[in-house]
Structure formats: structure tokens, C-alpha cells
A and B are shown apart, each in its own frame.
Chain A
Amino acid sequence: MAEPQITNKDFQPITVHHSEAEKIAGESASYWKDAWRRFKKNKLAIAGIIVILLLSFMAIFGGTISGQNYYEQDLLNANNPPSSDHWFGTDNLGRDVFARTWYGAQISLFIGLMAAIIDIVIGVIWGAIAGYFGGKTDEIMMRIADILYGLPYLLVVILLLVVLPQKLWTLIIAMTITGWINMARIVRGQVMQLKAQEFIMASKSLGAGNGRVLFKHLIPNTTGQILVTLTLTIPSAIFTESFLSFIGIGVQAPLASWGTMANDGLPALQYYPYQLFFPAIFICLTMLAFNVIGDGMRDALDPKERR
């Protein structure tokens, strides 16, 4: 590399502005832009989003495109393997597995989403209040959470389902009985950290009330964490639903979900494995997609944690 010639006139004093000097480092993108830029690089997570979009589309429209419906029984054509008529075959009552799969998708995704959203709402409010007010309030609220958290989640849900009437909404309620605690802990931690920072002090000194500080400043600043937890809560809710349906206390007939379909398919595993494998594949695919999206979001939002 040829060195540039240094001449006499190069020895005139110049001023280099600090701002100019720092520009070299490149314009610092905003937090969300930056996160999105990192997220886009994660091919797995993008694939996960595409999978979820496709599954949601099929859940809405998939039931009709094969020209079959999910409820019509045709005992003469029971246990048929996949064919041009019945793309995923038929079950032991001669119902079309393809149509049932997308009908089941509606139920499974709906329950997963609803349970996750309720978890998040309760968790955010509980955690934010505990973290924001601190002291005795915090002590009592978190002690309650600890007691609930000490019990195995599925055991508690099962016990509740024994007692509650078997409806879709009771299933969702039972599933959220302790699911929110994780979220509450995360939000509480974030809020406690944030409330010590200057901008909250500034806002308070300007006369903002507790509610305003909480909802305008604290909760929006935990959005990243909340989004990640939401994404990772959905697959575990879908798992819980399928688990409960699989042991027969979740979704009840005539409703069907992927879990109930898997349960129905289990006895026929040896001879008609497709009856179990179609719903099973979609349960796994959905959970996988949400898990990789959640991991991708966590990496993108918290570059320090990135490995």
C-alpha cells in the first residue's frame, strides 16, 4: 500500500469535530429497528413465521378446500388410508382427517392463543403492580405467586378440570390458573429495574400519577420481554391443551383438537398410523415454529444475550 505523501501544507492545524469523529461508527438505529434487522438475519425464525402464517391460513380455509367436512360420518369408508378423496385418509368413524385436522387447528390455535394472552394480561398487571409499589404489596403478591408456582402446573390444571364443568372456556381458565406467574415475575423484575431510572423519576417529578407512570412508561418499556414471553407461552399452552385432551379431560366431543385427534388415533397406531401422525406432526410443527420465533426474538431484542 503506497503511503500518501505528506507535504508542508499538511502541517496546518485543523479542527476535527467530535461529532464527525463519531459519525464513522455509523448511525445508531433505533432499538426496534435494530432488533428487526437482527431478527431478519435469523432464517429459522423467519421460516417459523411463514409456517405459522400458513397454518393459520389453513386453519381458517383448509377445512373446505378438499370438498369434505369434518363431522360427516361414513362408516363404510372408515379407516381409509390417504387417497385423492380423503387427502389424509379417514378415521374410525369414516370422517375426513384432512378436514378434521384444520378444524382441530382452529381449536388448538385458539386455545393456545387465548390462554397465552390471558396469562400475559394477568401476569403483566400482577407483576407491574408488585414491582412498582414494592414493599408489603410486593411481598404479599409474590408470596401468593410462589405458593401457586410450587405445585406442578399440570397437576393443578387437572384437579381444576375435575371440578369445573367441561366447557371450552373452563378449559382455558384452568390452563391460566398458574400460567401467568412466569410473566408476573419477569415484568416485576423489569419494572423494579426501570423504576429506579432517571426518566421515571423525571416523569414523577413532573406530577405524573402512578397509573400514568405504570401504563405510559413502565409497561411499554417491558414490551420486548412481554413479546418474547408471549411467543414462548403459546407453544406451551398448545402443549398443555393437547396433553389434557390426550388424557381425555381437555376438549370434549363434539369439539375436536389436535390433542383429541391424537388420542383417538393412538389405539389404531399399529394399523392406521396416519390417524395419529397427522395431528401429531402439526402439534410439533406449531410448537417448533413458535419456539424458534421466540428464541429468535429473544436474541434479536437482547443482543448481549446473543450467543
Chain B
Amino acid sequence: MNKILEVKDLSVSFDTYGAEVKAVRGVSFDLEEKETLAIVGESGSGKSVTAQSIMRLIQMPPGKFVNGSILFNGEDLTEKPEKQMENIRGKEIGMIFQDPMTSLNPTMTIGKQIAEGLIKHRNMSKKEAHLKGIELLKLVGIPTPEVRINQYPHEYSGGMRQRAMIAIALACNPKILIADEPTTALDVTIQAQILDLMRGLQEETGTAIILITHDLGIVANMASRVAVMYGGKIVETGTVDEIFYHPKHPYTWGLLGSMPKLDIEEEELQVIPGSPPDLADPPKGCPFVTRCPYAMSACTKQMPAYTNISDTQKTACWLLDDRAPEVQIPESAIVGGSEINA
């Protein structure tokens, strides 16, 4: 398999009033052709900033790249001039956003919004782009696309808007699709349809997907590999099986524990107590230390290095140090085998 995207030691900060918010602090991961990588974490963990950094959609200033590189086809996107980035966006990498209610331009027809990318990257005429737009709308499952293409976003339902967004993002057959919480704002039934659509289209087009989400249920359904982010860092990464069946990081345990399970009767959902760290003044050691039930004084002093659990699984946790006490994975984080069919 070929790596098409390599993020190395990426750090992104925002200059705000009197403080530098270190939203992403040394993140590394890679993406292979045709695979789906999920980046999981709660809000404020830095997952969206990471995604938008790849597209260079971060406003600079106040945002800035502090360190690291984003290699796409061997070229560093952090250093590309803005003009050249325009030929990557939409053409090589497409993106869909969380809220389809706000991510479409309200004063432009869906057809024109799809056509823009085609005209720019595929040199199509307006007419060709229009016809291709109808084809794309059909592909993403919008009925009577010939009519719908001339409508405005407010005439679409939420699910249909997200389908239209997918059509826009996939219009030029990008090699990578970044989906930033694509179903969070949708009804549960619509969520499943959109995910099915994305999976189907991936099989058809072979696009690699980076799926940003906080919902492990979606991860199990969609992804082949998972990176768990917390406090601007990736704390654990591995294949879906490894993350679900052999998680090593207490934060991953917490995430798994807070996932609703069908086969176990529980009184209430587990939650991880506390709130994520203030990234304007990030802790010196592991960011999870304040909420970790297994915290040791080492955790407050220094960020643990990654321990290679397997060829594919890496975890950054002091519990994996030889000197640390033995800790058992909590009951709540054990996932029943029947749910996962990845």
C-alpha cells in the first residue's frame, strides 16, 4: 500500500488575546490509499484543527504552523504557496463539514456550487459542469436531480444537503476526502444513510477518507484504522480491532466505556469526569493526567513516549513503562465481539 499523506510532528497554534492556544501539539500519522482513517476525540482535542490544517483552511493569522510537515505525494503542504494550494483543494483533497445547514452558500443554487470546482479544476464549460452536476446528484442519491440542481440549499432537507456536500467534495474525484463530523448534525436514521453512501462511494471511487468524529460507533462501521486524540496530541493509534479489543490508553478506555452498548444492561452511560485541558497553558506532562484514574507523578512531569504495542498499534502512556504498576482494563471498556464487523 502506498502512503499518500504523511503528517509529521505537526503543531498548530492560535494567537488569541494574551495567549497562544496550542491546539495541535506534535501530531504524526499517515494515510494509505483507499483506506479510512478515523481521528477520534472530544471537542477541543485538536482533531478539527488537524483536518483543516491539511486543507490549509486555518485562518493565518491568528493561526500558525509552529512545527512539522504535511506531506502529500511527497510535497509539503505547509510550505506550498496559496496559489498552488488552490490546485490541491477540491481537486486532490475534498472536504465535508459538520453542519450541512451552514456549509452551503444560501444564495447560490446547488448546481452552481457543484459546478464551481468542476469549472476550475476540470476546465469544463458551464453546460458540461451542469450535466456533470446532475450526474453527481444522482450518484449521491438525490431524486429528480434535474429539478433539484436548480434549487437553493433552503429547499433541501438536512440529509439532502449533506448529500449535496458530498457531491461537491467528490466532484473532481479527489484522492482524499476529509469528513469533519459529517453526521453529527443529522438525525440518527439519516446518519446511517449518509455513512452507507460514503462507504459505497469509497468502494466505487477508491478515495481515501479521513473521518473526524467523536462517535466510536461510526468508527467501528467505517474505519480501518483509528487515531485517538486528546489535548492536541495523539495518545493512541491502531487498527480498529486493536483499538476496540486491545486498547491500552486509559483515555481510550474511557471513550469505549462511554459508548452505549446493546448487549449489556447498564443503568447509565459511563462518563469521563472532568474537562479537557486549557490549551493556552497545556500541562507539561500527559494532558489526560487530570482526569485519569491511574495518574502517577510521572504523568505530571513528562509526556510519555510512544510504546509500540504491535506493528500497527502505538500508545503514549506511562502505564506501559516497566516500572509502572499493573493495571487491568476496566469492565466498562470491554467491547463485546458481536458488534464489530470491521
Contact = CB atoms under 8 A, between A and B. Distances in A.
A25 B44 CA distance: 15
Nearest to B292: A16
Given A3-B302, A18-B290, A13 B296 contact: yes
Contact of B323 (A8, A21, A22, A24): A8
B289 interface: yes
B144 interface: no
A4 B296 CA distance: 15
A15 B295 contact: yes
B74 interface: no
Contacts of A13: 294-296, 325
Contacts of B294: 13
Contacts of B273: 18
A21 B297 contact: no
B196 interface: no
A10 B290 contact: no
A8 B291 CA distance: 22
Contacts of A18: 273-275, 290-291
Contact of B295 (A3, A6, A14, A24): A14
Interface in A242-279: none
Contacts of A3: 302
Contacts, number: 53
Nearest to A9: B297
B62 to A, nearest CB: 13
A4 B302 contact: yes
Given A8-B323, A11-B321, A21-B274, A16 B295 contact: yes
B318 interface: yes
B281 A6 contact: no
B334 interface: no
A24 B296 contact: no
Contacts of B329: none
A10 to B, nearest CB: 4
A30 interface: no
A14 to B, nearest CB: 5
B301 A11 contact: no
Given A4-B302, A18-B290, A24-B281, A12 B296 contact: yes
Interface in A120-141: none
A142 to B, nearest CB: 27
B111 to A, nearest CB: 34
Interface in A42-66: none
B274 A24 contact: no
B278 interface: yes
Contacts of A21: 274, 277, 290-291
B324 interface: yes
B224 interface: no
A24 B278 contact: yes
B274 A11 contact: no
Interface string A1-43: 0011010111111111010111011000000000000000000
B300 interface: yes
A6 B300 CA distance: 11
A93 B321 CA distance: 95
Interface centre among B275, B283, B298, B325 (most CB of A within 10 A): B298
Contacts of B302: 3-4, 6
Contact of A14 (B281, B297, B325): B297
B291 A11 contact: no
Contacts of A16: 289-290, 292, 295, 300
Interface in B298-342: 298, 300-302, 318, 321, 323-325
A16 B274 CA distance: 11
A10 B298 contact: yes
Contacts of A9: 297
A62 to B, nearest CB: 40
Which interface residue of A9, A11, A20, A25 has the most chain B CB atoms within 10 A? A11
Given A18-B290, A22-B275, A11 B300 contact: no
B320 to A, nearest CB: 11
Contacts of B281: 24-25
Contacts of B283: 24
A8 B281 CA distance: 28
A25 B323 contact: no
Contact of A12 (B277, B289, B297): B297
A9 B297 CA distance: 8
Contacts of B301: 4, 6, 10
A14 B300 CA distance: 10
Contacts of A12: 296-297
A15 B273 CA distance: 13
A20 B274 CA distance: 11
Closest CB pairs A-B (n = 8): A21-B290, A10-B298, A18-B274, A25-B278, A11-B323, A10-B297, A11-B324, A4-B301
Interface of A: 3-4, 6, 8-16, 18, 20-22, 24-25
23 contacts: A4-B301, A6-B301, A8-B323, A10-B296, A10-B297, A10-B301, A11-B298, A11-B323, A12-B297, A13-B295, A13-B325, A14-B296, A16-B290, A16-B295, A16-B300, A18-B290, A21-B277, A21-B290, A22-B275, A24-B277, A24-B281, A24-B283, A25-B278
Given A16-B289, A16-B292, A20-B290, 10 more contacts: A8-B323, A9-B297, A11-B298, A13-B325, A14-B295, A16-B300, A18-B291, A21-B274, A24-B283, A25-B278
